[in-house]
Amino acid sequence: MAAEALPRLGEVSPVVRLVRRLVPYVGYTLLITAALSQIVPFVLTVANSFKCLPAVSAAPIAFLPTPPFFVECQADGVTRSASETTSGITFNPALEGYQSVFEANLGRWLFNTAFIALAIMLLRLLFDSLAGYALARIRFPGNRIIFTIILGTMMIPGVVLLIPRFIILKQLGMLNAYSGIIIPLMADAFGIFLMKQFFESIPNEIEEAGQVDGANRFIMFFRIILPMATPALTALAIFSFQGAWNNFLDVLIVLGGNQDLWTLPLGLSFLRGGSGRTLIWNEFLAGSVITTLPMAIIFFAFQRYFVEGVNYSGLAGQ
């Protein structure tokens, strides 16, 4: 008798069925909330960078651009009031922020950032893979000790090295020069470690086959081993480029003394201002957009590799 009260196999109670039907919606709601929390700030950054200054203060959440486009923010030398360029939800886009940010030398900072990030990335690809290969494949006295020392440098917090590095660069006359930021950062322990681990996973037989065919070490490295290491090289390239693009502290110490050598992070911090400077929102946000855009484009173009890189290295955000 009691068994009849139990539901038959495959039949579920209405409550469970309701819960099951609701689960996807709960999931969607959570995902949409999470996505909005990331997207809304970005949309507002872009929208506010295109507003006249009074409109930023009066209607920071206005996000719909409406014609007339590219209005002037000044009329006869007088700043136009917020109500003339925004309705609270819509706004007339203006280029004031972009004009003033380019007057503030942004073009130069963009070039510097790209140049430094590219140089550091290319040099790291070369030196990290050479060093990683040597440590993985070539037996020489002190091999293990050198690797341990290189790994040991990863344990030292970067800020500790700031002042010694500043003093050494000063003595070498490399302050306020591209070389002062590129040379100290052209090889790094993490990259060497990453490459060494990868090269060790490549079977020895491949190199032995190369040796039989008469290839020397360099031919083997550049023609055979390096092309096989594309996943590791991609990961290294992405991390290096991103790290160099966003680097603030090293650049401040080495290049802070010459405005023409600044990078975008320094420039943005300059626009944000210190004591005594009021933040000019549209100018600052225009700078943020220009700083973010290249990285965003690179990310979307190489999204697959980014994810692979993170998977491969197992060290997201290094």
Partner 1 sequence: MRLTRTLFMALMLVVSMGAVSAQDQTTIMLAGWSSSDSENAALQAQIDAFQAANPDVAVELNLVPDYDTFMQTGFASGDYANVFYVDSSKLQDWASAKVIAPIGDQLTNVEGIYESLRSVFTYDGQLYCPAKDFSTLTLQYNIDMFDAAGVAVPTTWEELAAAAEALTTADVAGLTVNPELARFLPFLYQSGGAVLDAEGGVALDSDATRAAVQAVVDLFVNGYARTATDLGAGWAGEAFGQGKVAMAMEGNWVIQYLEDNFPDLNWGVAELPAGPAGKATMAFTVCYGVADPESNVSQTPEALAASIRLVDFLTGDEGAMMVGESGFGPMPTRGVAAEPWLSARGEAFKPFVDGAEYAYPWSFPPGFGTFIDTFNTNLVEATKGNLSVDEFVTSAAEAAQEAVDELN
Pick 80 or 196: Cβ nearer partner 1: 80
Task: Give the residue, chosen from 51, 54, 109, 121, that forms a contact with partner 1 under the rule CB under 8 A.
Answer: 54
Which part of the chain contacts partner 1 (CB under 8 A), choosing from 184-192, 229-237, 258-266, 307-315?
Answer: 258-266
162 lines the binding site for partner 1 (CB under 8 A): yes
Peptide bond preceding 68 in cis form (omega within 30 of 0) = yes
102 lines the binding site for partner 1 (CB under 8 A): no
Q: Environment class of residue 312 by beta-carbon count within 10 Å: exposed (0-12), middle (13-18) or buried (19+)?
A: middle
66 lines the binding site for partner 1 (CB under 8 A): no
Minimal distance in Å, beta carbon 170 to partner 1? Answer: 6
Which part of the chain contacts partner 1 (CB under 8 A), choosing from 3-11, 15-23, 107-115, 259-267?
Answer: 259-267
Cα(261)–Cα(267) distance, integer angstroms:
10
235 Cβ contact list (under 8 Å, min separation 6): 194, 305, 308, 309, 310, 312, 313
220 lines the binding site for partner 1 (CB under 8 A): no
Closest among 295, 272, 294, 276 to 285, alpha carbons compared:
272
Pick 180 or 267: Cβ nearer partner 1: 267
Token readout for 290 is 């220009």
Pick 83 or 143: Cβ nearer partner 1: 83
Indicate the SS3 state at residue 316. coil
Asked if residue 115 lies in contact with residue 82, where contact means CB atoms within 8 angstroms, the answer is no
Pick 137 or 165: Cβ nearer partner 1: 165
Pick 83 or 303: Cβ nearer partner 1: 83
38 lines the binding site for partner 1 (CB under 8 A): no
Indicate the SS3 state at residue 94. strand
270 lines the binding site for partner 1 (CB under 8 A): yes
Cα(92)–Cα(201) distance, integer angstroms:
58
152 Cβ contact list (under 8 Å, min separation 6): none
Pick 199 or 262: Cβ nearer partner 1: 262
Minimal distance in Å, beta carbon 282 to partner 1? Answer: 10
Chain positions contacting partner 1, by CB under 8 A: 53-54, 56-58, 78-83, 100, 104, 162-163, 166-167, 170, 248-249, 252-253, 256-259, 266-267, 269-270, 272-278, 280
